[in-house]
A and B are shown apart, each in its own frame.
Chain A
Amino acid sequence: MTKLPFNPRKNYEDTREAIGYVSRKEATQKDYDRIGFMSGLEVHQQLKTKEKLFCHCPAGIFQKPDEYDAEVIRHMRPTLSELGEYDGTALMEFKTRKEIVYRISNKTACTYDVDDTPPFPLNREALGIACEISLLSKLNIVGEVHITRKQYLDGSIPTGFQRTAIIGVEGEIQLKNKKVRLIQLSLEEDSCREVSDIGHQRIYRTDRLGMPLIETVTYPEFKNPDEVKEGADYIRFLNRSTGKVATGIGSTRADVNVSCAGGTRVEIKGVAHNRWMPELTHNEAFRQFALLRIKEVMNKRVTDTKSWKIHAIKPAPNDLPAGIPLLNEVKAIGYPVYIINLPGFGGMLSHFLQPEMTFADELTNRLKVIACIEKPNMLHSEMFDDTVGKDNWTKIRQLLAAGEQDAQVILWGPEADIPTALETVEERCLMAFTGVPNETRKSFENGTTIFERVLPGADRMYPDTDTAPIPLEDKVLDEMAKHLPIVTAERFAQLRDWNVPEDTYTYILKNNLVPIIERAQNELGIPARFTATLMAHKLNHMERQIGPVQGFSAEKVYDLLAFQKSCNLDLEIAKKMLWVVYRHPERNFETVLAEVDYKKLSQDEIVKMIPTLLEDYNEIRTSKNDGAGANWVMGKLRKEALGNVALKELRGLI
Chain B
Amino acid sequence: MADDNFQGYKGLALETLKKFNARVWAKVKVDTTRGVFEGTILPRAENTDDMHLVMKFFTGYNIGVDVGTITNIEELGYKKANYKIPEKEFPYSKELPNVKLLGTGGTIASRLDYRTGAVIPAFSPGELYGAVPELADICNLTTEKLFGVFSENMGPAQYKELAIAIGKEIEKGTQGIIIGHGTDTMHYTSAALTFMVQNSPIPIVIVGSQRSSDRPSSDAALNLMHAATAAGHGDIAETMVCMFGPTSDEYGFLHRGTRVRKMHSSYRSTFRTIGDTPLATVTREGVFPIKQDYKRRRTDKNVTILPYFEEKVGMIYYYTNMQPDMIDSMVDNGYKGIIIIGTGLGHVNKPLYPAIVRAAEKGVAVYMTVQTLWGYVHMFVYDTGRDLMAKGVVPAENMLPEVAYIKLGWALGQTNDLEKVKEIMLTPINDEITLREPYNGYLIYQGGVPEVEDFIRKFHK
Binds A, one of B232-240, B306-314, B357-365, B452-460: B452-460
Is A144 a contact of B52 with CB atoms below 8 Å? yes
Q: A79-B216, A82-B83 are in contact. Are A70 and B34 (CB under 8 A)?
A: no
Is A471 a contact of B84 with CB atoms below 8 Å? no
Q: Does B268 sit within 8 A of A, measured CB to CB? A: yes
Is B52 a contact of A469 with CB atoms below 8 Å? yes
Is B59 a contact of A183 with CB atoms below 8 Å? yes
Q: Of A140, A159, A462, which is in contact with the most chain B CB atoms at under 10 Å from its CB?
A: A140
Binds B, one of A108-116, A604-612, A630-638: A108-116
Is A140 a contact of B35 with CB atoms below 8 Å? yes
Is A80 a contact of B83 with CB atoms below 8 Å? yes
A148 to B246, CA, bound (A): 28
Is B85 a contact of A80 with CB atoms below 8 Å? yes
Q: A73-B248, A158-B217 are in contact. Are A144 and B268 (CB under 8 A)?
A: no
Q: Does B398 sit within 8 A of A, measured CB to CB? A: no
Closest Cβ–Cβ distance, residue A479 to chain B (whole Å) = 15
> What is the number of residues of chain A that contact chain B, defined by CB distance less than 8 Å?
67
Is A143 a contact of B247 with CB atoms below 8 Å? no
**Contacts of B266 on A, CB cut-off 8 Å?**
111, 116-118
**Contacts of A161 on B, CB cut-off 8 Å?**
215-216
Binds A, one of B1-9, B110-118, B189-197, B387-395: B110-118
The answer, among B66, B214, B221, B453, for a CB contact under 8 Å with A143, is B66
Q: Of A106, A142, A459, which is in contact with the most chain B CB atoms at under 10 Å from its CB?
A: A142
Closest Cβ–Cβ distance, residue A473 to chain B (whole Å) = 8
Q: Does B143 sit within 8 A of A, measured CB to CB? A: no
Is A166 a contact of B217 with CB atoms below 8 Å? no
Query: Which residues of chain B (212-239) have a CB below 8 Å from chain A?
Result: 212-218, 221-222
A32 to B49, CA, bound (A): 51
Q: Does B352 sit within 8 A of A, measured CB to CB? A: no
A118 to B112, CA, bound (A): 18
Is A145 a contact of B215 with CB atoms below 8 Å? no
A81 to B214, CA, bound (A): 8
**Contacts of B83 on A, CB cut-off 8 Å?**
80, 82-84
Is B112 a contact of A465 with CB atoms below 8 Å? yes
A462 to B215, CA, bound (A): 9
Q: Does A530 sit within 8 A of B, measured CB to CB? A: no
B38-57: contact bitstring with A at CB < 8 Å (1 yes, 0 no)?
00000000001101111011
Query: Which residues of chain A (128-179) have a CB below 8 Å from chain B?
Result: 139-146, 148-153, 158-161, 164-166, 169-170
Q: Does A496 sit within 8 A of B, measured CB to CB? A: no
Q: Does A460 sit within 8 A of B, measured CB to CB? A: yes
Query: Which residues of chain B (50-99) have a CB below 8 Å from chain A?
Result: 51-54, 56-67, 69, 81-86
A80 to B109, CA, bound (A): 11
> What is the number of residues of chain B that contact chain A, defined by CB distance less than 8 Å?
61
B262-286: contact bitstring with A at CB < 8 Å (1 yes, 0 no)?
0010111000000000000000000
A70-112: contact bitstring with B at CB < 8 Å (1 yes, 0 no)?
1111111111111110100010000000000000101000010
Is A465 a contact of B35 with CB atoms below 8 Å? no
The answer, among A115, A184, A462, for a CB contact under 8 Å with B214, is A462
Q: Does A290 sit within 8 A of B, measured CB to CB? A: no
Is B250 a contact of A73 with CB atoms below 8 Å? yes
A465 to B211, CA, bound (A): 11
Is A143 a contact of B217 with CB atoms below 8 Å? no
A208 to B319, CA, bound (A): 43
**Contacts of A142 on B, CB cut-off 8 Å?**
34, 37, 63-65
Q: Does A217 sit within 8 A of B, measured CB to CB? A: yes
In the complex, the chain A residue whose C-beta lies closest to that of B65 is A143
Query: Which residues of chain A (31-84) have a CB below 8 Å from chain B?
Result: 68-84
**Contacts of A472 on B, CB cut-off 8 Å?**
66
Closest Cβ–Cβ distance, residue B181 to chain A (whole Å) = 20
B108-135: contact bitstring with A at CB < 8 Å (1 yes, 0 no)?
0001100001110000000000010000
B417-461: contact bitstring with A at CB < 8 Å (1 yes, 0 no)?
000000000000000000000000000000100000100110011
Is B59 a contact of A463 with CB atoms below 8 Å? no
A148 to B131, CA, bound (A): 22
A426-462: contact bitstring with B at CB < 8 Å (1 yes, 0 no)?
0000000000000000000000000000000111111
Q: Does B316 sit within 8 A of A, measured CB to CB? A: no
Q: A117-B266, A160-B215 are in contact. Are A69 and B51 (CB under 8 A)?
A: no
A145 to B215, CA, bound (A): 21
Is A143 a contact of B457 with CB atoms below 8 Å? no
Q: Does A326 sit within 8 A of B, measured CB to CB? A: no
Is B60 a contact of A469 with CB atoms below 8 Å? no
Query: Which residues of chain B (241-268) have a CB below 8 Å from chain A?
Result: 246-250, 264, 266-268
In the complex, the chain A residue whose C-beta lies closest to that of B80 is A83
Q: A170-B36, A184-B57, A469-B48 are in contact. Are A76 and B63 (CB under 8 A)?
A: no
In the complex, the chain A residue whose C-beta lies closest to that of B119 is A465
Q: A77-B218, A160-B215 are in contact. Are A463 and B62 (CB under 8 A)?
A: yes
Q: A73-B249, A84-B81 are in contact. Are A458 and B58 (CB under 8 A)?
A: yes
A90 to B215, CA, bound (A): 12
**Contacts of B218 on A, CB cut-off 8 Å?**
77, 79, 160
Is B62 a contact of A148 with CB atoms below 8 Å? yes
A459 to B81, CA, bound (A): 12
Q: Does A341 sit within 8 A of B, measured CB to CB? A: no
Is B82 a contact of A79 with CB atoms below 8 Å? no
A118 to B266, CA, bound (A): 7
Is B64 a contact of A153 with CB atoms below 8 Å? no
The answer, among B53, B57, B216, B249, for a CB contact under 8 Å with A78, is B216
Q: Does A468 sit within 8 A of B, measured CB to CB? A: yes
Is B216 a contact of A148 with CB atoms below 8 Å? no
Q: A144-B52, A146-B62, A471-B66 are in contact. Are A159 and B35 (CB under 8 A)?
A: no
The answer, among B112, B212, B215, for a CB contact under 8 Å with A82, is B112
A76 to B53, CA, bound (A): 33
**Contacts of B56 on A, CB cut-off 8 Å?**
82, 461
In the complex, the chain A residue whose C-beta lies closest to that of B268 is A116
Q: Does A186 sit within 8 A of B, measured CB to CB? A: yes
Query: Which residues of chain A (580-630) have a CB below 8 Å from chain B?
Result: none
In the complex, the chain B residue whose C-beta lies closest to that of A116 is B267
Q: A82-B81, A458-B58 are in contact. Are A160 and B112 (CB under 8 A)?
A: no
Query: Which residues of chain A (460-501) have a CB below 8 Å from chain B?
Result: 460-463, 465, 468-469, 471-472, 474
Is B60 a contact of A145 with CB atoms below 8 Å? no
Closest Cβ–Cβ distance, residue A117 to chain B (whole Å) = 5
Query: Which residues of chain A (194-251) have a CB below 8 Å from chain B?
Result: 217
A507 to B182, CA, bound (A): 57
**Contacts of B215 on A, CB cut-off 8 Å?**
79, 115, 149, 159-161
A183 to B39, CA, bound (A): 13
In the complex, the chain A residue whose C-beta lies closest to that of B54 is A146
**Contacts of B457 on A, CB cut-off 8 Å?**
68-71
**Contacts of B460 on A, CB cut-off 8 Å?**
70-73
**Contacts of A158 on B, CB cut-off 8 Å?**
217
**Contacts of B461 on A, CB cut-off 8 Å?**
70-72, 104
Q: Of B57, B119, B217, which is in contact with the most chain A CB atoms at under 10 Å from its CB?
A: B217
Query: Which residues of chain B (165-214) have a CB below 8 Å from chain A?
Result: 211-214
**Contacts of B61 on A, CB cut-off 8 Å?**
146, 148, 164-166, 184, 186, 461
The 3 closest A-B pairs by CB, nearest first: A144-B64, A160-B216, A140-B35
List B residues at the A interface (Cβ < 8 Å): 32, 34-37, 48-49, 51-54, 56-67, 69, 81-86, 111-112, 117-119, 131, 211-218, 221-222, 246-250, 264, 266-268, 447, 453, 456-457, 460-461
Given contacts A144-B64, A465-B118, 15 further A-B contacts (CB under 8 A): A70-B456, A72-B248, A74-B249, A90-B216, A106-B447, A116-B266, A116-B267, A143-B52, A143-B53, A144-B65, A184-B59, A457-B60, A461-B62, A469-B48, A471-B64
In the complex, 14 of the A-B residue pairs with CB atoms within 8 angstroms, ordered by the A residue number, are A76-B216, A80-B83, A116-B264, A140-B37, A144-B54, A144-B65, A145-B63, A160-B216, A166-B63, A457-B60, A462-B214, A463-B62, A471-B49, A471-B66
List A residues at the B interface (Cβ < 8 Å): 68-84, 86, 90, 104, 106, 111, 114-118, 139-146, 148-153, 158-161, 164-166, 169-170, 183-184, 186, 217, 457-463, 465, 468-469, 471-472, 474
